[in-house]
Amino acid sequence: MSIHAYAAAGPGKPLEPFSFEPGPLGPHEIEIGITHCGICHSDIHMIDNDWGWSSYPLVPGHEVVGIVREAGAEVRRLSAGQRVGVGWQSGSCLECEWCLSGRENCCARQQGTIVGRHGGFADALRVDERFAFPLPEAIESSLAGPLLCGGVTVYSPLREDARPWFRVGVVGIGGLGHLAIQFARAFGCEVTAFSTSAGKRAEALELGAHEFVVSTDAGRMKAAAGSLDLLLSATTARLDWQAWVGLLRPRGILTIVGASPGALDVEAGAILTGQKTVRGSLIGGRARLAEMLDFAARSGVRPRVEVVPMREVNPAIAKVRQNRARYRMVLEA
Ligand code: NAP
Ligand code: ZN
């Protein structure tokens, strides 16, 4: 049976209806009938070939939610009728030291849901069952997608480094950032949201931020110098990294999850003094993703979404490009 999807024919192109035959179902694969799919900014980087490894026609979509409708011969964990989600990662070797220690996101053979294969802006997705996650009942389908990529991407580094007594900053209050505020708050941290959009203040505070700083306000930025134990950058913009490192306290950590363009221009002296750390983080392993879903279900962390029919995918993408999404666009099949 054909899968009906939306695909970009080339870099930066609008999405158009596109159908393909998936072929026989692999022994470890499931076929998911998609109900919802979030639009992550990584979908847009991929449409635009920002990272140089997009292949076309490109079907974006890696915050996939749906119902299992077929299971391959070797599938044991999941069965038809189950509600599941799939995030950025759809495969890994499952044998290396990273996979065995729950860090499949560090595996040299990791596969992306939309890298060289068709993603979730479609009516169905085929995926290895080991990268599909049963969804907690408490999380409704329209809200689950953004947790599967955006959620785990911010949960994972906070889980690793944040402590309840930490002062945590979040830069870029978009799909990832608005979830980071909620997780950091749920972990008991004091949270400051840094945004270029003054209009996001009230919502950032509602989501759990103790403070909101407009990052173009030089006076407020100066006052925040040396104040943070952990700073999570979830912006798509290029930052003056040296200036942001200046917001850290001694032993503070700047963790970059946003795919900002350009080089990290930080002088050695800026991180030697105060023994600071600058690090990156990529999604999260399978155990972390499952844990995050359970924690979100119990703690009430939920994305704020705008749900639109899948056929309105192009205006929805335009909204994300223009930084007008509040805070995640979700396509409904
Ligand atoms: P998003 O919803 O579009 O949010 C990005 C935010 O960045 C915006 O809301 C805005 O926040 C800020 N921003 C955008 N343009 C800006 C500009 N010109 N100047 C300053 N700030 C700007 O994107 P997202 O889905 O959260 O993704 C954010 C980044 O994370 C993307 O690069 C994405 O590819 C990456 N990502 C990484 C991983 C990973 O595993 N590391 C996983 C998922 C996504 P303010 O209005 O508050 O300034
Ligand atoms: Zn993503």
DSSP secondary structure of 57-123: SB----SEEEEEEEE-TT--S--TT-EEEE-SEEE--S-SHHHHTT-GGG-TT-EETTSSS--SSBS
Q: Are 52 and 106 in contact (CB under 8 A)?
A: no
Q: How far is the CA of 87 from the centre of ligand 2 (A)?
A: 7
Ligand nearest 236 Cα, by number?
A: 1
Q: Same domain, yes or no, for 135 and 10?
A: yes
In the predicted model, what is the mean pLDDT of residues 244-257? 98
Place of tokens 């959620």: 151
Atom of ligand 1 nearest to the CA of 193: 47
Residue 1 above 90 pLDDT? no
Helices (H), 224-281: 241-245, 268-272
Query: 103-140: per-residue pLDDT in tens?
Result: 999 999 999 999 999 999 999 999 999 999 999 999 99
In the predicted model, what is the mean pLDDT of residues 321-327? 98
294 in a structural domain = no
Q: Same domain, yes or no, for 11 and 132?
A: yes
- Given ligand 1 and candidates 235, 241, 282, 288, which is best to mutate, with the most ligand atoms within 8 Å of its CB? 235
Which band of pLDDT confidence, cut at 50, 70 and 90, is reported for residue 189? very high
290 in a structural domain = no
Which band of pLDDT confidence, cut at 50, 70 and 90, is reported for residue 26? very high
Rounded to whole angstroms, how far apart are CA atoms 102 and 236?
Answer: 28
Q: Same domain, yes or no, for 76 and 110?
A: yes
CA-proximal residue: ligand 1, atom 10 (nearest): 172
Query: 261-289: per-residue pLDDT in tens?
Result: 999 999 999 999 999 999 999 999 999 99
**Alpha-carbon distance values, 168 to 146, 158, 217, 307 (Å):** 22, 9, 19, 30
Q: How far is the CA of 43 from the centre of ligand 2 (A)?
A: 7
**What residue numbers bound the domain in which 53 lies?**
3-139+302-332
Rounded to whole angstroms, how far apart are CA atoms 280 and 156?
Answer: 11
In the predicted model, what is the mean pLDDT of residues 303-315? 98
Residue 178 above 90 pLDDT? yes
In the predicted model, what is the mean pLDDT of residues 184-202? 98
Q: CA angle 187-191-195, nearest 5°?
A: 135
- Given ligand 1 and candidates 107, 176, 241, which is best to mutate, with the most ligand atoms within 8 Å of its CB? 176
Q: Same domain, yes or no, for 258 and 310?
A: no
295 in a structural domain = no
Rounded to whole angstroms, how far apart are CA atoms 63 and 146?
Answer: 6
Atom of ligand 1 nearest to the CA of 196: 48
Rounded to whole angstroms, how far apart are CA atoms 47 and 26?
Answer: 27
Q: Same domain, yes or no, for 20 and 48?
A: yes
Which band of pLDDT confidence, cut at 50, 70 and 90, is reported for residue 227? very high
In the predicted model, what is the mean pLDDT of residues 202-223? 97
Would you state the structure tokens that stand for residue 120, as one six-digit string? 């979730």
Q: How far is the CA of 83 from the centre of ligand 2 (A)?
A: 20
Domains: count for the chain: 2
Q: Same domain, yes or no, for 135 and 159?
A: no
Q: Are 150 and 303 in contact (CB under 8 A)?
A: yes
Name every residue whose Cβ is closer than 8 Å to that of residue 193 and which is 6 or more positions away in sequence.
169, 170, 173, 177, 181, 200, 204, 209, 211, 212, 213
State residue 319 phi and psi, 5-degree precision: -65, -40
H/E segment holding residue 189: none
Residue 24 above 90 pLDDT? yes
Residue 51 above 90 pLDDT? yes
Per-residue model confidence (pLDDT) at position 118: 98
Query: 68-93: per-residue pLDDT in tens?
Result: 999 999 999 999 999 999 999 999 99
Q: Same domain, yes or no, for 130 and 227?
A: no
Q: How far is the CA of 260 from the centre of ligand 1 (A)?
A: 8
232: domain CATH number is 3.40.50.720
CA-proximal residue: ligand 1, atom 11 (nearest): 172
Ligand 1 lining (C-beta closer than 6 Å): 40-42, 45, 149-150, 153, 172-176, 195-197, 200, 234-237, 257-259, 281-283, 320, 323, 325
